[in-house]
Amino acid sequence: MTSGLWELVLRGVWVTVQLLVLSGLLAAAVSFVVGVARTHRLWFVRFLAGFYTEVFRGTSALVMIFWVFFVLPIAFGWQLVPLWAGTLALGLTYGAYGSEIVRGALVAVDPAQKEAGIALSFTPWQRMRLILLPQAVPEMIPPFSNLLVELLKGTALVSVMGMGDLAFSGNLVRLALQESAEIYTYILLIYFVIAFLLTRVMRGLEKNLKARVGKAPRKKTAAVRVPEGSGVA
């Protein structure tokens, strides 16, 4: 490939990274708000959170992108640029999946911990902030890591809006060179490298958070072999 075509691909990588970060931040915020709401003591709050989860989890992310970009301007007069339309659609969709991760981790905390907070006269917010979240968040990291990788792959859907992400740029290069195997192999490798870096960062974050709550993995110690006839029982 020429330097100009490589520059086009790199611009696509930058757009993909921007979309991943922005939609990931939105998805994380939605995940925690909706996930915590699904454990709320008021049934109405739980119902609204559950309704949101079922709607966005049960609809296609691709159709949601179409709806936000093409239908929203007609219905409400709000025309979003492709970057923000993709961020909104992907963030809300993957946030619905993330909310189940948050809810499951909160429910999995030992009930005795919650009872201890009640015995100490903590408010529900204090119990959530001081007891539940510090223990639940480290357990959320592995499934959130998988969800983040899925979100990375989902960013390719924004190419339907003509947004110059990695998938869209790769297709332009393919059309220019009439070479599919080489171009798409490069694109696959770029996605893999980004996903690999994400998983490494999330694994380091998991170890750090678990160490803070005393759940750091124990270091393996080498077994000492006692020679026969040494007299050691």
Q: What local confidence, expressed as pLDDT, does residue 215 receive?
A: 63
Q: Average pLDDT of the chain? A: 85
Q: Give the pLDDT confidence of 24-71 residue by residue, as tens digits.
A: 999 999 999 999 999 888 999 999 999 999 999 998 899 999 998 888
Measured CA to CA, the distance from residue 62 to residue 144 in angstroms comes to: 21
Which structure tokens are listed for 147? 């969800």
Q: What local confidence, expressed as pLDDT, does residue 145 receive?
A: 93
Q: What local confidence, expressed as pLDDT, does residue 225 receive?
A: 55
Average pLDDT for residues 136-144, to the nearest whole number? 91
Tell whether the torsion through CA atoms of 45, 48, 49 and 50 is positive or negative.
positive
Q: What local confidence, expressed as pLDDT, does residue 140 receive?
A: 92
Neighbours of 222 (CB within 10 A): 5
Average pLDDT for residues 3-19, to the nearest whole number? 86
Q: What local confidence, expressed as pLDDT, does residue 212 receive?
A: 74
Q: Which residues contact 42 (CB under 8 A, 6 or more apart)?
A: none
pLDDT exceeds cutoff 50 at 141: yes
pLDDT exceeds cutoff 60 at 219: no
Q: Give the pLDDT confidence of 183-215 residue by residue, as tens digits.
A: 888 899 999 999 999 999 999 988 888 887 666
Q: How confident is the model at residue 170 (pLDDT cuts 50, 70, 90)?
A: confident
pLDDT exceeds cutoff 80 at 233: no
Q: How confident is the model at residue 231 (pLDDT cuts 50, 70, 90)?
A: very low
pLDDT exceeds cutoff 50 at 23: yes
pLDDT exceeds cutoff 70 at 76: yes
Q: Rounded to the nearest 5°, which phi and psi values hold at 122?
A: -75, 145
Query: What separation, in Å, do the N-terminal and C-terminal C-alpha atoms of the chain show?
Result: 71
Q: What local confidence, expressed as pLDDT, does residue 162 receive?
A: 81
pLDDT exceeds cutoff 50 at 129: yes
Q: How confident is the model at residue 228 (pLDDT cuts 50, 70, 90)?
A: low
- Lowest mean pLDDT, pick from 89-103, 115-129, 208-222: 208-222
